[in-house]
Every structure is written in structure tokens, then in C-alpha cells.
């Protein structure tokens, strides 16, 4: 079973059934990011240590019987959303090095539901666009067809 091919529903079912741990699932995603992201450039920051620590905590919480809607699910946060202590640039070099002292409410709700932070994804500078062609850190490439943009927030692949 390829853990990175699972849907959210299948990943939760596998975690609940004990088929794999949150650490296994998170490591699989981190390995995939490290294998392919140099060509795709989807991530501006990968939070390996934090992700694995969160995954270990998820496994402990699950073993204690806690039931949360996203417990053990790894995900990425768009780099326009603040995450306490993790660089947040909004795709702009103006904010390079900025590590907010707080977490955005929307992101905190994901943590409260048990989600795990893999890292921060590329974005058009200050989210002004939908292709990441305007990111100060370079464009993200569509992993299925480099002639198409990845679609950004819209999720729509378009010709470059």
C-alpha cells in the first residue's frame, strides 16, 4: 500500500484500524516531498521535525482513546497562513525570516482537530494570483504536465 496515494477518508480508516501509524503516514509524505519537490517546487518550507513530533503525539493520543476528526492526518498549509514559529513569507521576500508568534485561527482549528503540519506551500506573492508564477521564490510546476500551471488556490490547470 502506498500511503501517499490514500484519500483522506482511507487514511483515517487505516489509522483507526491500526494498519499504520501517524508516524508512518507522515514519514511517507515527507519522503515523497523530499523526492519530488526539487522539481515541483510546491513547498517553501518543510517542517520535518515538527511533523514527526506532531505525528508521535497523534499516535499517543490515539492510543489513549482520543477521537478527533483529523487525528494523525498530515497536511500542508499555504504560506499566507501564519503558523507559530514557522517562517511565513506569503511568497514575498519582504517577509523572509518572519516567524509569527501566533497561529492563524483557521490553522489552529486544524491542529485542534489533530492534523499534522508537513510544511508551508508556495503561493503567488501575497496570494495575488492563482498560478504561483508570481511567487518571489519561483513558480510551482504542475507535477502531471509541466506545460500547465498547477492552478494555485483555484485548483484549475491552465496553459502557461
In tens, the pLDDT along 122-133 reads 999 998 887 888
Task: Look at residue 114 and tell me if it is in a domain.
Answer: yes
Q: Which DSSP state fits 21?
A: -
Task: Look at residue 160 and tell me if it is in a domain.
Answer: no
CATH code of the domain containing 107: 3.90.1300.10
6 grid coordinates: 490514500
Count of structural domains, the chain = 1
Is 91:41 a contact under the CB 8 Å cutoff? no
- Where are any strands of DSSP class E within 50-140? 74-78, 116-121
Predicted TM-score (pTM) of the model is: 0.91
> What average pLDDT does the segment 52-62 reach?
98
Task: Look at residue 158 and tell me if it is in a domain.
Answer: no
Question: What residue has cell string 526539487?
Answer: 38
Structure confidence by residue, pLDDT tens digits, 77-108: 999 999 999 999 999 999 999 999 999 999 99
Name the residue range of residue 145's domain: 3-153
How many angstroms separate the Cα of 40 from the Cα of each of 37, 89, 129, 140?
A: 5, 19, 18, 6
Q: Is the dihedral of CA 5, 7, 10, 15 positive or negative?
A: positive
Amino acid at each position: 500500500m502506498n500511503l501517499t496515494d490514500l484519500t483522506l477518508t482511507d487514511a483515517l480508516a487505516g489509522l483507526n484500524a491500526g494498519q499504520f501509524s501517524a508516524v508512518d503516514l507522515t514519514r511517507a509524505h515527507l519522503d515523497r516531498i523530499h523526492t519530488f519537490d526539487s522539481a515541483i517546487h510546491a513547498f517553501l518550507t518543510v517542517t520535518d521535525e515538527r511533523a514527526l513530533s506532531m505525528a508521535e503525539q497523534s499516535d499517543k493520543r490515539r492510543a489513549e482513546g482520543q477521537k478527533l476528526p483529523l487525528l494523525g492526518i498530515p497536511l500542508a498549509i499555504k504560506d499566507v497562513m501564519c503558523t507559530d514559529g514557522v517562517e511565513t513569507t506569503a511568497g514575498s521576500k519582504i517577509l523572509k525570516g518572519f516567524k509569527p508568534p501566533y497561529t492563524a485561527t483557521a490553522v489552529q482549528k486544524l491542529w485542534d482537530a489533530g492534523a499534522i503540519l508537513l510544511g508551508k506551500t508556495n503561493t503567488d506573492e501575497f496570494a495575488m494570483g492563482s498560478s504561483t508564477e508570481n511567487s518571489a521564490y519561483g513558480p510551482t510546476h504542475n507535477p502531471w504536465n509541466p506545460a500547465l500551471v498547477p492552478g494555485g488556490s483555484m485548483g484549475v490547470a491552465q496553459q502557461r
